[in-house]
Structure 1
Amino acid sequence: MQQYNTKQEQMRFYKSKAWRSLRAEVLKEQNYECQECKRLGLVTLTDSDKHKTLDVDHILEIATHPELALEISNLRVLCVPHHNEKHGRYQKKPNKWENDEQW
């Protein structure tokens, strides 16, 4: 079984033909909609003005569950902000002036 412990191994996987094909299938199957936004009653679709609006997320990560890397039941579409939130990336910094008096 293939392991995906290093960034290099993971990048090789994400550039593979098998992943790109499955990613396209999942996007189509889930109507190009972020599943987390949908759960919250919102709609996030592909934005042609942006480089990438939607990601296909592994629910159980490939580093810990390599056997599920190409398992469609382990995949879901997320918008980039929700995908980043899941992984703790690019979190919005708190606004120190948010509760300040406005006049």
Structure 2
Amino acid sequence: MSETEMHGGVGMPDRWQRIWAPHRMAYLTGENRPLDGNDVACPFCEIPKLSDEAALIVARGDEVYAVMNLYPYNAGHLLICANRHVADLTDLTVTERNEI
């Protein structure tokens, strides 16, 4: 199968293997931004406060949670988040890393 056939013949194939995700435009344009102007709240701190169904949480642990991405690049894309802010994966505790 040629590269053009693999891409369905749409446009010119490129070597970057870009994922076209037009549904992400709502995120990029701020379509679902809070109406109260509260842009400073960390979404990853707010998500665990919601019910699993409302927040799209698929698993909760003592130290981390897994949540479906509202604007995924690929089907099945999950975010795994620590319950606290960390700047780098190496900043996770042993318990957090094991739970992930």
Q: TM-score range by the shorter chain?
A: under 0.3
Q: TM-score, normalised by structure 1?
A: 0.25
Higher RCO (CA-CA < 8 Å; seq separation 6+): 1
The structure carrying a bigger helix percent of its residues is: 1
Asked which structure has the greater CA Rg, the reply is: 2
Q: TM-score, normalised by structure 2?
A: 0.26
The structure carrying a bigger strand percent of its residues is: 2
